[in-house]
Chain A
Amino acid sequence: MTLAVKRKESHRLRVAADAVSATLPPLLVSARRIAASVTMGSHGRRRAGVGDSFWQFRPYSKDDTPQAIDWRQTAKFGTVFVREREWVAAQTAAVWCDTSPSMRYRSSPKLPTKAERAAVMMLAMAELLIDGGERIIRLTADGRAQRAAAAGRLAVAQMADAVAGELLADAPESSMPSFASALPRHATVILISDFLAPLEDIAAALSGLTRQGVVGHMVQVLDPAEETLPFSGRIRFIGLEKEGATVIDRAEEARAAYMRKLAAHRDGLKAIVASAGWSFGLHHTDRTPQATMAALHNAVTSHFR
């Protein structure tokens, strides 16, 4: 490698590193802002603490260990009471956001790309879960767990780092990986993508998860242009993931048919989701993520209870 090439490479790396460090704080900050606004919402914190909070007193049964007896209550009422605490075993949630080429799309420079929005939503969800004492696992672009389940603020920061790196790196080939890696039992999976792949692919990709019996939540992130097809005239539409291209002579006249097909696709998605007992959410990049996040948070925490 000549000196010039080496210098060029090091320069590129430095620029990339700068870009990462520049995008990282906004990503985290916006994720935290969204998380804060969600937790401040109508559904307040139900439990005072995690793990060590009082749950209920219950009469002693012979299965209980003597150590579980609350002697003060026993003395007060004459009956032997056992102090039961809240079940402290933390849930594990696996989160995944799509960073494939089709997610890198935005119809206007004023909007974020779908991948950016999906990453922000994922990080915000992770933030909320960590705050709630849960453990999180990030699934990488190829569907494998990045590392063992982690807890704590540092885990969110590391996750943000990894997502930012993935967003800056070249996009992976296919949009739907097969989520084959083993997850903890009764884990929750949160998948954020545009889910524009063929329905069969999606069903196949999810089959690994549904077999494990995990509970899942799907959020479809779409650009407003994908919803309404705001084009007119003779246009050659080119896919971003090597799907091929097609020429539409009068895009304005194809709009109704397109919207019908999109609705049908979404119905198919909902059917897949419903058959697995999962929840489904929809988000558009021209809206604020708060509403979607609130619904998602509600769905996730209702599963935990």
Chain B
Amino acid sequence: MLSLGALSFAAPWALAGALALPLVWLVLRLTPPSIRHVEFPAVRLLFGLDPTQRTTAHTPPWLIILRVAILLLALLGLADPILNLRKTDNNGPVIVVIDNGWAAATQWEKRIAIARDILESADRRNQPATLITTAPASADAATPPQMLPAREILTQLSRIAPRPWPTDRAAAAKQLSALQGADGAAATWISDGVESIGTEELRATLQRFKPVTTVEADAANAPVVLSPPERAFGPGDNKDAPRGATDSVKIAVSRPATSASPAASYNVRAVDKDSQVVARASVDIAAGEARGNAVMALPAELANRITRFDVDGSATAAATALADDRWQRRPVGIASATDTGIAAPLLQDAYYLREALAPFADVRSGSLDELLKQPLAALMMAGGGRILDAEAERISAWIENGGLLVRFAGPRLDGNVDALLPVRLRSGGGRTFGGAMSWGTPATLAPFPETSPFNGMPTPEDVTVSTQVLAEPSSDLAAKTWARLADGTPLVTAERRGQGWVVLFHVSATPEWSKLPLSGIFVDMLRRLVDVSRGVPGDDGNESAATLAPYALLDGFGHLSPPGPTATPIQGPAFAEAKAAPETPPGLYGPPGATHALNLAAHLPQPEAIAGSAGAAHLTLDAVARERVFKPWLLTAALVLLIADIIVSFFMRRLTPRFPAFAKAGVAVILVLAGGFASDLRAADKEPVASDFSPAILAAVLETRLAYVVTGTPEIDRTAELGLTSLTKVLATRTAAALAQPARVDLGAASLSSDTLVPYPMIYWRITAAQTQPSRHAFLALTNYLQHGGVVMFDAPEQVGALGGGAPGAIREKLDAILAGLDIPPVTALAQDHVLNRSFYLLHGLPGRYADGRVLVVRDSAANDAVSSVVIGGNDWAAAWAKDASGLPLYATIPGGEQQREMAYRAGVNLVMYALTGSYKSDQVHVPAIMKRLTQ
């Protein structure tokens, strides 16, 4: 072995080859370049030209230099030069103890590089070696360390990674003492510098070996621990909190402190799920101190987006704190019956709720049915209306489990419509004060009661209430009241049901009834309400016995990844006590959307630095001079230059391949292939699109037609069909409405949904006594149809002897039973000036086969373009319309006469025009007045 300063040669004899270099130089110089053969016709003329300058034909000098350089590099490489060769007399085994707990992730590359360096050095000297890791391994990789050739230990080294849990040095000490064939070994301990179980034992065990070297990170690079941040409402006492900050997050960073620890500033980042930094906080730790605190003040919307905190520049599991779904916003559903369109958002209840909830909650909109399928913390029901019995059961069960139902009054909440109200309401409409015709003034709010969750909020002075629904007085009304008006009437009432709450706002969620939805206090009230909710019911780790399966786990560097096979689920009740360990690594546990975070730092003690020990050489990570081997680099350089030389030689001999020809051929092949694919694609386009619509739906969508509900009585159904058919003919002859053949609606069909009903402008439903009660599914479909602009005409003649009658009053009972299953707004008798009476013909009443029946329509329908969604009557219209194939009426009209039949047709025409054109004709009432004005 030859040494020149820090540089050593492992195989110096190879350098002897350099002696041959001058000779090579000479040979290269003299060897003429290779001869080219050229066919030449005028060769005779060249015969006489004697080559007088044969010796001047030299290889170009740069080529000689290139080739000599190749030779030199190859010789140097073979000589195997090594920088900083570790000079040691010890030829015994080599022991490397490496800490791979959470703290070792800082400067992990350097730790591995030092271990690799030691092992490669041992490999060069053919020394046996072993590698001992101090962090407990996962269950699958628990093999006791052995003395092996250093080459095999190097492959072990490439497999180890820092673990996201603390080290157990006592176990490592035990492995070390049990090690066979370790006599006379040299030991190196690459320490993470953090005290843990059994540090002293390990140190004592290491004393057996000579020499012992301890390698540590310097104090400035000590690992840090980020305690899981705590979120609190209110910006805290932070002086420089940004405007709009509503939440504060307390952040604590600690480190193993020694007297040598310098002052440090750590940048804590809050990151959302898209890895974007939401907020930053700077934590300063003074020199020699161990802990530092900071408060991050930020708006609730931003705080809700946070999924993890980490310390910038410190990629370890302990410097990463995950925020789980419990940290984030709670899911709140908004179910609104009147949320049918976007034409007038400012008139819709859902708009105000959504705006008020958006800053702090995860708002989900949709029908009750869809919402109840999702995990919800609170459910807001706007726009009044009753809850159908079938859904009421599901909602009740959900409330019992801890759900929070918040309802708002409205025009449709009239009396005790269902059981899901906290107090009994007085029916007969709400109370109005301070209207244009009233002496009273709008009411203001009283201070919030102390038992209310709103307690402590300032009493707003600008909120006035002009309309409210009133509760029936009862003994417990005061206890149930969370907010009241200045006159003592309740504004918000609540009742506990099981683990959940039912809350009622006695005003609507629109500004029609009060100014509450426009006020900032509304946002705060809803926020307090959402805070009252228990989170997603059945999802609280402390009380649920469900096991939480690992969802995503942290590795030693603080990266989230899908769980491996060794991670085990945690029982729900045990989650609070769970610690980061090989079986339960830190990370997120539980189903998506309801995850629980297990953070390493939550159960870590304050990290403490390992006290220095005597008898061992101490080095810092950066101070270790690493052996550098140049052989591969030199040989690679020689090879690269050799390839360059070959290429140069090719050029000098004009042996370059003819690339253009190849390129042209290649381009042509590619173009041909591309053309082939393109034609395939075009062919694929032409394949017909399979239709998944049934012919009935297609027919309903492609042509407008009337529909009737199948009752199950053949005679009635035939009458309805014939009646609608002749009405369709009458419409075609007298009006512009050219409708197609009427359709049947079978309420018992499995394919029935609001989607299949929506194409029909009007459905005629002749009630019979023998009819079966429709299923819940059918009721849902019909309710949806009515809320989205559909019109159903109920025809229930009560006259004795009416078709399908049965016992007196049976049809009426059936009608009541059916209407109870539907969400129908309050109805009133048809007024003389109602649009229905003048949509085509000017009529006085709507006669059918009978002329004396009452007709009911929706009282004040603001929705659906002011079209009444139901028309309830008993004049047996279809019987009056029905004609047989020869054009003769099937049933006589009562009291009689073709005059009445004609009026029945006119009533039918008005009904269909009303369903098709809506309230358009109501404007026509004013046409004479408008014309009069215009002509003046």
Contacts and interface: CB of A to CB of B under 8 A. Distances in A.
Interface of A: 102-103, 105, 114, 194, 196-198, 223, 225-226, 231, 233-241, 243-250, 253-254, 257-258, 261-262, 265
A238 B53 contact: no
A246 B56 CA distance: 18
A226 B43 CA distance: 9
B43 A250 contact: no
Given A234-B32, A253-B53, A262 B37 contact: no
Given A246-B47, A249-B53, A105 B41 contact: yes
B344 interface: no
B244 interface: no
B40 interface: yes
Contact of A248 (B32, B33, B42, B51): B51
Given A226-B42, A234-B34, A258-B42, 7 more contacts: A196-B44, A237-B40, A239-B41, A239-B44, A248-B51, A258-B49, A261-B49
B540 to A, nearest CB: 86
Interface residues of B, number: 23
B53 A250 contact: yes
Contacts of A239: 39-41, 43-44
Given A248-B49, A249-B57, A254-B46, A238 B35 contact: no
B398 to A, nearest CB: 87
A237 B43 contact: yes
Q: Interface centre among B38, B40, B48, B54, by most A CB within 10 Å?
A: B40
B36 interface: yes
Contacts of A105: 39-41
Contacts of B45: 196, 258, 261-262, 265
Nearest to A100: B41
A239 B42 CA distance: 7
Interface string B12-56: 000000000000000000001111111111111111110101101
A-B pairs, 4 with minimum CB distance: A102-B41, A239-B43, A237-B40, A249-B57
A250 B54 CA distance: 8
A250 B47 CA distance: 14
A248 B46 contact: yes
11 contacts: A223-B41, A231-B38, A235-B38, A237-B39, A239-B40, A240-B39, A247-B51, A254-B49, A254-B51, A258-B49, A265-B45
What DSSP secondary structure best describes chain A's contact surface?
mixed
Q: Interface centre among B38, B48, B53, B54, by most A CB within 10 Å?
A: B38
A265 B48 CA distance: 13
Contacts of A248: 46, 49, 51
Nearest to A227: B42
A240 B36 contact: no
Q: Interface centre among A194, A231, A237, by most B CB within 10 Å?
A: A237
Contacts of A258: 42, 45-46, 49
Contacts of A103: 41
A198 B48 CA distance: 13
Nearest to A104: B41
Contact of A234 (B35, B46, B49): B35
B104 to A, nearest CB: 64
Contacts of A244: 43, 47
B827 to A, nearest CB: 97
B233 to A, nearest CB: 86
A262 B43 contact: no
Contacts of A197: 44
Contact of A238 (B33, B38, B48, B51): B38
A225 B43 CA distance: 12
Given A246-B47, A249-B51, A258-B46, A234 B39 contact: no
A241 B43 CA distance: 10
B51 to A, nearest CB: 5
A265 B930 CA distance: 118
A102 B48 CA distance: 19
A237 B35 contact: no
A245 B41 contact: no
B38 A196 contact: no
Contacts of A114: 41
Nearest to A257: B49
A238 B40 CA distance: 6
Interface of B: 32-49, 51, 53-54, 56-57
Contact of B41 (A194, A250, A254, A265): A194
B46 A246 contact: yes
Nearest to B32: A234
B485 to A, nearest CB: 103
A234 B57 contact: yes
A236 B53 contact: no
A138 B40 CA distance: 28
Nearest to B653: A233
A196 B43 CA distance: 9
Given A247-B35, A247-B51, A248-B49, A196 B56 contact: no
A198 B43 CA distance: 11
Contacts of B39: 105, 237-240
B57 A237 contact: no
Contacts of A238: 37-40, 43
A12 B47 CA distance: 39
B43 A261 contact: no
B56 A250 contact: yes
A254 B54 CA distance: 12
A82 B346 CA distance: 125
B32 A196 contact: no
B57 A250 contact: yes
Nearest to A253: B53
A114 to B, nearest CB: 8
A80 B56 CA distance: 88
A225 B36 CA distance: 16
Q: Interface centre among B37, B43, B46, by most A CB within 10 Å?
A: B46
A235 B32 CA distance: 11
A262 B42 contact: yes
Given A236-B35, A238-B37, A250-B56, A196 B42 contact: yes
A221 B690 CA distance: 76
Contacts of B54: 249
Contacts of B53: 249-250, 253
A257 B36 CA distance: 20
Contacts of B47: 243-244, 246
A196 B35 contact: no
Contact of B37 (A102, A198, A236, A240): A236
Contacts of B33: 233-234
Q: Interface centre among B42, B44, B46, B51, by most A CB within 10 Å?
A: B42
A278 to B, nearest CB: 22
Given A234-B33, A234-B35, A258-B49, A246 B43 contact: yes
A67 to B, nearest CB: 59
A235 B394 CA distance: 100
Contacts of A247: 35, 51
Contacts of B42: 194, 196, 226, 258, 262
B56 A249 contact: yes
A262 B41 CA distance: 12
A194 B54 CA distance: 31
Contacts of B43: 237-240, 243-246
A238 to B, nearest CB: 5
A234 B48 contact: no
A174 to B, nearest CB: 13
A103 B42 CA distance: 10
A236 B38 contact: yes
Nearest to B47: A246
A235 B41 contact: no
A103 B54 CA distance: 31
A106 to B, nearest CB: 10
Nearest to A194: B41
Q: Interface centre among B34, B51, B54, by most A CB within 10 Å?
A: B51
Contacts of B32: 234, 249
Contacts of A236: 35-38
Given A250-B53, A257-B49, A235 B36 contact: yes
